[in-house]
Each structure stands twice: as C-alpha cells, then as structure tokens.
C-alpha cells in the first residue's frame, strides 16, 4: 500500500497487450495491437509507483504528467485522465501507438531498473481510445488570424494551442486530407486512419479551419497570407517529406520505389484495395533498404500485399532506429533481415528488376582514436533476387517554401534556420518548427515544437499590440 492507499502491482513484467497472431494479420491491414481492456489497463496502471522523482515526465518531450494520467486510470476516471493527456498532447491516441517510448518515458521509469518499465504508451492509448468525447468548443475569438502551413503533428499541436488561446486558426494542407506523415506514411495496421481522423476532428470542435489542396509557396505565397489575407503570423511545419535516394546504378528503374511513394500509394491512396483506382506493383519478392520505422512499415505493407520481404540494413540490429515493438512484429510476420549489408547496384532484364547487388559491411576500429568506422568488405558481394526494391534511407525537407520565399533563411541541408528559444525565422511574423527545422524526427518532437511556437506567437502578438489580453 502507498500513502494514497493505492495497491501496487509488484510484477516485474508488463501486462501483455493482445495482438493479432501473425497468420491472422499478414494478409490484411487490420490493426495488429488490439489495446488493453479495462482489467489489463488497471492492472498495468497499478505498476506505477507514483514515485517522487518522476523521471518519465522529464524524459517526455512534452512533459506529460504521466503519473497523473495513470493514477486516474486506477481510480476509474478516464475522462479526467484524458483531459490531463490532452492538456499536454494534441494527439494522445497517435502517440500511444507510435512514440518510441523505450527511448523516452519508459527508458527512465524506475520500475525498469528491476524488470520492465510501466507500459506508459499502452496506457496512453487505452485512455485515448476509451474516454468519453471531450466537450470541446471554440474559445471566444480574439480577432487575430494565424496561418499554419502543413497539417502534420507540429501544425496540429500549434493549431490546438492557438485555438485554445482564442486565435482564428487556418491550417493549409497540400494533400487532399490532413495528417501529414501520420496519414500517408504510417500504415493502417499500426495507426488506423479513423483514430487519426478522430483526433484531427477535435481541432474542428475548437474552431480550427483546415484547407486542403493548398500548397503554400505555389497556390498562395507567404507574403499573400501576411498581406492581403491578413494573417498576423505564419507557422511553417511542412516537415521533411522529400525522399533520399542511394545514388546507385539502377535506382530509376521501374519497380524501384521510394518508401514515401510505396507507402503513399498504400496508405493515402488505398492501392491495396481493388475498389480504389491507384495501383501498386505486386511483386513476388521485395527488398527494402533501410533500418528505420519507415523501412519496417514499408516491409510490413509489402508482406501484406503477398510479397516475400527482406530488409537490408548496412549497420547492426541494435543500431536500427526503428521502434522495438515494430521490429519484433516484422520478424513474427516472416520478414527477413540482412544486417551489415549495403546495396551497390539494382539490375534488370528487359526493363524488369531481377536482383540487387550488395556488399557485406564491417566495423573497423581506428587503433589510435578507438573510433569505429563502417566499411565495405572488399570482394564480399552477394545478389538478392527481387522484382521490387524500396528505398527507405530517410527524407529531407521539402524545397517548395525555400524556392518561393527568398527572405527566409535556410541552412545548407535545406532546413529553416530559427531562433531556438522563439522559433522565429529570419522573416518577420514567420515561425517554423518540426521536421523542417530539425530534419526527420518523431511525432512527439514535432508536437513539442508546435506547442512552443504557439506560445511564442502569442507572446509576440501581445507585444506587437495585435492581441490584447
């Protein structure tokens, strides 16, 4: 018993989360993890010691009051629990599913010192999926308009904060639906689109207006937003959406996709369903190049389209940046992994891919500096038979804003330069955050930037007299 009278679940292991069995999931796009029921959630919530130091809160990029929301699960008040989550995070159902908890909150959990950490992500998801709908309504309007460019997590977080402060917020989205990478990148079996739609629809309840099919820098310029259209500030959260390629021979052959193209065909355009018009290559064997979440997502999608799938990663398994649970799921689904292997050429006959040439890699240690360096092993090459190759080696910022707005400063990697504290860009009244500033990162980090930008925009608009408090 603790001070509050709460029983503690002393088990060193996390309460398991029910999952579809591999054979139940490899031929469809249904969500793999099914989420806790009430009993499991309460059982797991009771593992939280509500410790004094709360290292989980410190490690969370948006500092969610984690023990606070967990305690309300124990007391059965899910609505209270959700309002705590939503206060810090505009997308709890998304983050519960896609955050790399093992590198953030759960890494710091004191229960992890002697067993498994509290399953914070699973609990977050449980609360987000099972609470009653919040009674959200627009705040009294303060008469000030703010434009947000891009409807990914950073834009959504910024919109939510600003709407809560009474701003009239419009999000401009280039695609035909909002959500950014959460929509076109993360597959249905990991983040069902109806979950995402529900979280985005909460923005509409707060009075946020989302305009799809508008490319800022093409359809409307930033100067037009700030001038004729009378927005008092602009937040640029256009992400890092442009795919990188390896630069090896054969990469422009038909049958080679960027992971973005492959995932967009499937997630945004529903190419896996006969009812939709967008097609996708149905290959017998698919090779994925890369080791991040995007590589795993693409591999698992290809598996679901009936392909035999191999992931080729140039480093070792422990270095894979992908979320651990997803690597486990991918293995269960029969996806093969080749580590310390790097592609050198994609080969074709009569315009159709036949195989990919690879070279084995090794770490060489520099004796004086003890630095490890990844090198190709001479003559240790091998061929991988495949009809489809998917390149998932990362993305870089999109260049449309850069090409269209000469008074915003960018660094040599195409990222917008901002003041770290204020998130102001070199252009007056224009702010930026998320992947367009950091390079490709996580949903939660993008959310953090969105919130921070909103607070700074508010502060600056008060200072400039555009808003009176």
Q: Give CA–CA dist 66/46, Å, rounded.
A: 13
- For residue 214, which of 245, 249, 176, 179 has the smallest C-alpha distance? 176
- Does 247 help bind other proteins (rule: CB under 8 A)? yes
Considering only residues 96 to 155 of the shown chain, the ones binding other proteins according to CB under 8 A are none
CB of 188 to other proteins, least distance (A): 16
According to the binding rule CB under 8 A, does residue 213 interact with other proteins? Answer: yes
DSSP state letter for 64: -
Q: How far is the CB of 272 from other proteins (least distance, A)?
A: 13
Tell me the sheet residues that pair with 242. Answer: 396
CB of 423 to other proteins, least distance (A): 23
Region binding other proteins by CB under 8 A among candidate stretches 195-203, 215-223, 378-386, 423-431:
215-223
Residues 107 and 323 sit within 8 Å (Cβ to Cβ): no
Number of residues interacting with other proteins: please give it, by CB under 8 A: 45
Member of 25, 131, 265, 314 binding other proteins (CB under 8 A):
265
* Residues 16-45 contacting other proteins, CB under 8 A: none
Cβ neighbourhood burial of 222 (10 Å; 0-12, 13-18, 19+): buried
Cβ atoms of residues 388 and 287 within 8 Å: yes
Nearer residue to other proteins within complex by CB, 58 or 212: 212
Binding mask 152-181 for other proteins (x = CB under 8 A): ----------------------xxx-----
> Is residue 421 within the footprint of other proteins (CB under 8 A)?
no
Stretch that binds other proteins, among 33-41, 124-132, 237-245, 292-300 (CB under 8 A): 237-245
d(CA 238, CA 435): 7
User: What is the spatial distance between Cα 22 and Cα 6, in angstroms, rounded to a whole number?
Assistant: 37
CB of residue 130 to other proteins, shortest distance in Å? 30
Which of 273/316 has CB closer to other proteins?
273
In whole angstroms, what is the distance from residue 282 CA to residue 265 CA? 12
> Interaction with other proteins in 342-361: which residues (CB under 8 A)?
351
209 binds other proteins (CB under 8 A): no
Kindly state the smallest distance separating residue 22's Cβ from other proteins, in Å. Answer: 27
Among the listed residues 81, 44, 49, the one whose alpha carbon sits nearest the alpha carbon of residue 65: 81
Among residues 319, 94, 285, 277, which one has the least CA distance to residue 185? Answer: 94
User: CA 319, CA 305: separation in Å to the nearest integer?
Assistant: 28
Choose between 5 and 247: whose C-beta lies nearer to other proteins: 247
Report the SS3 class of residue 151: coil
Site map 310..339 versus other proteins, x via CB under 8 A? ------------------------------
- In sequence order, the 6+-apart residues with CB closer than 8 A to the CB of 73 are 41, 42, 45, 81, 123, 126, 127
Residue 279: exposure state from Cβ atoms within 10 A (0-12, 13-18, ≥19)? exposed
Q: Please name every residue paired with 257 in a beta bridge, in sequence order, or none if there are none.
A: 390
Stretch 273-312 residues interacting with other proteins (CB under 8 A):
275-282
Residue 243, interface with other proteins (CB under 8 A)? yes
254 lines the binding site for other proteins (CB under 8 A): yes
* Pick 361 or 392: Cβ nearer other proteins: 392
Q: Is 248 in the site for other proteins (CB under 8 A)?
A: no
Binding positions for other proteins, rule: CB under 8 A: 174-176, 184, 211-215, 218-221, 241-243, 245, 247, 251-255, 257-258, 260-261, 264-265, 268-270, 275-282, 351, 398-400, 403
């Amino acid at each position: 018993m603790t001070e509050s009278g709460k029983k503690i679940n002393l088990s060193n292991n996390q309460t398991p989360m029910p999952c579809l069995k591999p054979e139940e999931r490899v031929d469809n796009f249904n969500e793999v993890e099914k989420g806790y029921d009430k009993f499991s959630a309460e059982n797991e919530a009771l593992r939280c010691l509500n410790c004094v130091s709360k290292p989980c809160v410190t490690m969370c990029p948006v500092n969610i009051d984690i023990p606070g929301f967990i305690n309300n699960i124990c007391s059965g008040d899910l609505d209270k629990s959700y309002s705590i989550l939503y206060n810090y995070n505009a997308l709890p159902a998304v983050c519960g599913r896609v955050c790399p908890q093992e590198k953030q909150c759960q890494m710091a959990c004191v229960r992890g010192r002697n067993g498994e950490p509290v399953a914070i992500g699973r609990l977050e998801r449980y609360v987000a999926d099972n609470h009653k709908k919040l009674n959200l309504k627009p705040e009294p309007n303060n008469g000030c308009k703010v434009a947000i460019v891009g409807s990914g997590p950073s834009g959504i977080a910024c919109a939510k904060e600003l709407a809560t402060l009474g701003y009239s917020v419009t999000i401009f989205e280039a695609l035909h639906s909002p959500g950014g990478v959460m929509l076109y990148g993360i597959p249905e079996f990991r983040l069902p689109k109806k979950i995402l739609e529900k979280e985005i629809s909460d923005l509409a309840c707060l009075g946020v207006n989302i305009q799809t099919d508008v490319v800022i820098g093409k359809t409307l310029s930033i100067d037009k937003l700030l001038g004729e259209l009378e927005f008092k500030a602009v937040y640029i959260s256009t992400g890092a959406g442009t795919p990188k390629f390896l630069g090896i021979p054969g990469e422009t052959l038909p049958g080679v996709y960027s992971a973005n193209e492959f995932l967009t065909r499937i997630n945004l355009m529903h190419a896996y369903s006969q009812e939709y018009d967008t097609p996708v290559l149905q290959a017998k064997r698919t090779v994925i190049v890369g080791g991040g979440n995007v590589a795993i997502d693409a591999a698992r999608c290809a598996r679901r389209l009936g392909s035999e799938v191999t992931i080729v990663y140039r480093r070792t398994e422990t270095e894979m940046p992908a979320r651990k649970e997803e690597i486990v799921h991918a293995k269960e689904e029969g996806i093969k992994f080749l580590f310390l292997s790097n592609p050198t050429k994609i080969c074709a006959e009569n315009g159709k891919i036949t195989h990919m040439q690879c070279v084995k890699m090794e770490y060489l240690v520099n004796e004086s500096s003890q630095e490890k360096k990844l090198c190709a092993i001479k003559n240790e090459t091998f061929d991988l038979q495949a009809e489809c190759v998917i390149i998932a080696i990362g993305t870089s910022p999109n260049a449309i804003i850069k090409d269209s707005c000469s008074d915003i400063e960018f660094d040599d990697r195409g990222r917008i330069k901002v003041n770290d504290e204020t998130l102001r860009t070199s252009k007056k009244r224009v702010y930026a955050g998320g992947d367009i500033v950091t390079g490709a990162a996580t949903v939660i980090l993008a959310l953090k930037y969105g919130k921070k930008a909103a607070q700074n925009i508010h502060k600056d608009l008060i200072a400039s007299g555009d808003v009176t408090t």
